Structures are given as C-alpha cells and as structure tokens.
Amino acid sequence: MTSPRPLRADAARNRKLLLAAAADEFDVRGLDVSVADIARRAGVGKGTVFRHFATKDDLVAAIVLDRITALTETGGELLTAADAGAALLEFLSAVAREMQHFDLMHLQRAAEFDPELSQAQERLFRHVHALVERARSSGAVRTDITGADVVALMCAPKHAASSLPDAPPDLWQRYLAIIFDGLRPAGAHPLPQPPPSSP
Amino acid sequence: MTSPRPLRADAARNRKLLLAAAADEFDVRGLDVSVADIARRAGVGKGTVFRHFATKDDLVAAIVLDRITALTETGGELLTAADAGAALLEFLSAVAREMQHFDLMHLQRAAEFDPELSQAQERLFRHVHALVERARSSGAVRTDITGADVVALMCAPKHAASSLPDAPPDLWQRYLAIIFDGLRPAGAHPLPQPPPSSP
DNA sequence: CCATAATCGGACCGTGCGGTCCGGTTACCG
DNA sequence: CGGTAACCGGACCGCACGGTCCGATTATGG
C-alpha cells in the first residue's frame, strides 16, 4: 500500500519509536502535547517527526488508525461468540482499554479529512451495529436501543472514570457495568427522544 | 465580598456583556476560544476583558461558579421533593442542561487554584451525595452505588450525545434515561471495582 | 572500502495566543 | 459645569507551538 520503497533500517526503527512515544504521551497527557515533547521522548529530533508524519494530525491519525483497526478485529472475532450479550460487553471493555484519552469527537474530527481513517471508522461502526443487533435479538439488551446509541456511549465509562482525580485505573469497569445494566431489557423504562440516525 | 466600591455604570454593563458573550462562545465552540474572539463578540476591547478578569482562567471560573451555584440551588430545592428518585433524575437533567461543554475535568482543574470555586464544588457534591442517599433509601436507585459514582457519571449523557455529529440538542435525555436505568435496583448486576472515595 | 543517497537533528521562521500598557475618553460628584 | 478618577480599547510584548530547512551523519550497494 504505502511502501514504494523498503524503509531504511534506522528509519523504520525511529518510526516505531515515534509511534510508541506519541501513543504513550497522548494517553498520559492528552492530545495537545507538543511535537517537541514527543520527539524528545522518542530520543529523536523534531525534524524527524515531520519526515515520517507530514503533520501532527497525521501522527495522531496513524495512532488512531492502529487502534481502530485493532478494535475492528476484536469486534469481528466477537461476532461469532456464543453469548452475544457477553460479546458486546467484552467489546466495550476492549474499547475502554484501547481508547484511553481518544474519544469519538477527536476521532470524528480526525476522520473528516482522512479517507483511510474514515473508512476504518465506518468498518468499526458496522461491527458495533452487528454486535448490538445480535445482542438485541438474543434478548441480552433491550430492543429500543440501536447501534448508534452504543457508539455514542462507547467512550462514556472511560470518560466518567477519568473525570475523577486519583481514580484507580480500572474504575471504568464499574461504570461500564452500570451503563451496561442500563442497556439490559430487565426493568427498562421507555426512552425519550428517538435514536440518532448518523453513524 | 468583592465589592469594596460600587462598579461604575458602564463597567457593570460591560462585565455582564462579557460574561454572556463568554458563556455563549464557550458553550458553542469549546473552552479554547481566544479571549480576542470573546471580546469582539461582546463588542469590547481585549484590554477590557483583562480589567474585569485578571486572567482567562478567572473568566471561565466566574462562569463555572455561576453555574455550579445555580445547580447547587436546584439540588437544594430537590432535596425536599416527595419522590426522591424523580428528584435525582431531575437534578441530573439540570446538570446536563447547565453544563454544556464544561465537564468535570475542567471543573477540577479550575477549582484546583481557586478556593471559592473549590468550596462551591464541594457544596454541590455534598448535595449530590444527599440526593443519592435519599434516592437509595427510598429504593429508587440500587444500594451499591455512591454519590461519587453519580458525580462521575453526571456529565456522561451530555458528553455521549455531543460525541455524535449532527446530534439533536436534546439527545442527552435519551442517554440520561439509559444510564439512569442502570442506576435502578431492578435487574441490577453486581458491580466490579469498589466505588471511588475521592469526592 | 568508497560513493552516494537517504536520513538525522537542531537552528530557524511565522503565527496566534494570553497578557500588559498607556493615551484618550467617559461617567460620576461637588 | 468643571475636575478627576476610573474606565476603555487597541497597539504592543513574549512565548510556545506547528512546521521548514540544510549541513552533518550514516546506512547501503557495488
């Protein structure tokens, strides 16, 4: 795809270092760490960053693309699991684990001008819809929610947990459990507002 | 408190214009609109902004303080409502309506160096705890959640809704309903992870 | 081992931000 | 109505960021 020439050895190594450093830094300190910081963390000059990724946005796009792809794969495997409800829960756990500080808003904005990322996003959302559909028809989740609803709520557990200072790193599991209980059919109350149509 | 001298007429007017313009701009375009934009929107020079609010953070603190205070008042009134469960739901609706783009993380960071804001936050959280306690002992919400859990989840509905592009402005009601169903005792599954201790 | 082409890295640039300053203006008070 | 103190606003400053450039360096193929 993007390999008209086999990268030189040190170049390939630096690229990996950069991706790792950037992923780390983004996860810990948010999306607006400076490129200089990332370069320093990778033990590399700032110019090297821009040789590999023309712009900072390209760098975050590369990382997000990796994670989206990984999640899509996970979702694909879970599509054939026996327990559809457990599969959906497992998938949402994977999202929380993988997405750290990236939430949908960032993804949407990044995908807006990157067709590759946009396609990856679409593939992921298609899997979410399928997982939800299976869980719905198996009776594991209520029938009045849609895939788009789950997409919207996907990042909520992680976000809720990290909005508290000094939160233990696994607290998101608690909020995923609460939200997932809200998705179950048992004791469900009718929902106001129609489901969103977009994704 | 902060009135050693009664503000001059035009100064008071400009201050109000500024607060309104800033609140608007923050809600629509997020927390990082430039001070210059806010000034222009208020029909005022940039210097005037800094005369009224020594720093940009002070400006957002003033707005957040207003909203926190309003929410605290709402919470206080709801504490004497007949239906404790409905009161909690109503309160969470008020939060979603009032908080727009401000989530807890911003609040925490702003409160860190502003004792007044920090106290206001504490008062608000105390009311949340009380509302949750009442709802719990009336059987409206499950017994294994705490006030801190609700604090963490407070901003989730709005955040989930606004993570979708082209979402209708009231979509948060749908996600509040889902999450609130997750807080009910009916069909609740045991929760992993202990509740957070912090707020 | 050398020629060469690709890569490296840090000095450098433009921009836009938060924040300061001061001459001109305007509201208050006697 | 005049003196004065407060306020207004925009020119200005320093800084940090994303992004560029080019001389030094290094991996690679013959």
pLDDT tens string A136-177? 999 999 999 999 999 999 999 999 999 998 899 999 999 999
- Please report the pLDDT score of residue A102 as a whole number: 82
Which among A87, A93, A192, A103 has a CA at the least distance from the CA of A141? Answer: A87
- Please report the pLDDT score of residue B10 as a whole number: 78
Q: What is the rounded CA–CA span in Å between residue A146 and residue B171?
A: 13
Structure tokens at A69: 């792809």
* Burial readout B186-197 (b: 16 or more C-beta within 10 A, e: otherwise): eebeebebeebe
- Helices A9-29, A56-78: crossing angle, 10 deg rounding: 80
Q: What is the rounded CA–CA span in Å between residue A154 and residue A103?
A: 9
Query: Cβ-count burial of B94 within 10 angstroms (0-12 exposed, 13-18 middle, 19+ buried)?
Result: middle
Mean pLDDT of B143-160: 97
User: Of all helices (H) and strands (E), which one includes residue B111?
Assistant: helix B104-111
Structure tokens at A158: 């992680």
Are the C-beta atoms of residues A141 and A185 closer than 8 Å to each other?
Answer: yes
User: Of all helices (H) and strands (E), which one includes residue B48?
Assistant: helix B46-52
Which among A53, A165, A155 has a CA at the least distance from the CA of B161? Answer: A155
Residue A78 has pLDDT above 90, yes or no: yes
Q: Are B148 and A168 an interchain contact pair (Cβ–Cβ within 8 Å)?
A: no
Mean pLDDT of B36-56: 93
- Helices B35-42, B9-29: crossing angle, 10 deg rounding: 120
Question: Which residues, 6+ apart, have CB-to-CB distance to B104 below 8 Å?
Answer: A163, A164, B151, B152, B154, B155
Q: Are A187 and B186 an interchain contact pair (Cβ–Cβ within 8 Å)?
A: yes
Q: Are A182 and B179 an interchain contact pair (Cβ–Cβ within 8 Å)?
A: yes
The Cβ of residue B33 has, within 10 Å, a number of other Cβ atoms equal to 17
Q: What is the rounded CA–CA span in Å between residue A55 and residue A133?
A: 39
- Please report the pLDDT score of residue A2 as a whole number: 40
Q: Could you give the angle at the alpha carbon of B173 between the alpha carbons of A138 and B171, nearest 5°?
A: 85
Mean pLDDT of B106-128: 92
Specify the DSSP class assigned to residue B190: P
- Position with higher pLDDT, B102 vs B195: B195
Top-confidence range, A19-33, B27-41, B76-90: B76-90
Question: Which residues, 6+ apart, have CB-to-CB distance to A43 below 8 Å?
Answer: A17
| Protein-to-nucleotide distance from the CA of A57 to the C1' of C21, whole angstroms | 38
| Tokens 């792809």 -> residue | A69
Dihedral sign computed on CA atoms, order A99, A104, A105, A108: positive
Name the pLDDT band for B107 (thresholds 50, 70, 90).
confident
pLDDT tens readout for residues B164-192 = 988 999 999 999 999 999 999 998 999 99
Q: What is the rounded CA–CA span in Å between residue B98 and residue B114?
A: 21
Query: Cβ-count burial of A135 within 10 angstroms (0-12 exposed, 13-18 middle, 19+ buried)?
Result: buried
Name the pLDDT band for B4 (thresholds 50, 70, 90).
low
- Please report the pLDDT score of residue B2 as a whole number: 40
Residue B3 has pLDDT above 80, yes or no: no
Protein-strand C interface by C-beta, 7 A: A 7-8, 10-11, 13-14, 43-48, 51-52; B 8-10, 32, 34-37, 46-47, 50, 54-57
Top-confidence range, A29-38, A76-85, B25-34: A76-85
pLDDT tens readout for residues A117-133 = 999 999 999 999 999 99
The Cβ of residue A10 has, within 10 Å, a number of other Cβ atoms equal to 8
Across chain B, mean pLDDT equals: 92
- Going from the C-alpha of A126 to that of each of A151, B54, B70, the distances in angstroms are 10, 49, 42
Which residues of chain A are within 8 Å of residue B195 when distances are taken between CB atoms? 174
Q: Which domains does chain B have, with CATH numbers?
A: 8-53 (1.10.10.60), 55-183 (1.10.357.10)
Q: A163 to chain B, minimum CA–CA distance in Å? A: 5
Mean pLDDT of B6-26: 87
Which residues in chain A (164-183) have CB-CB distances under 8 A to chain B?
164-168, 170-171, 173-175, 177-183
| Tokens 């599509």 -> residue | A79
Cβ of residue B32 closer than 8 Å to a chain A Cβ:
no
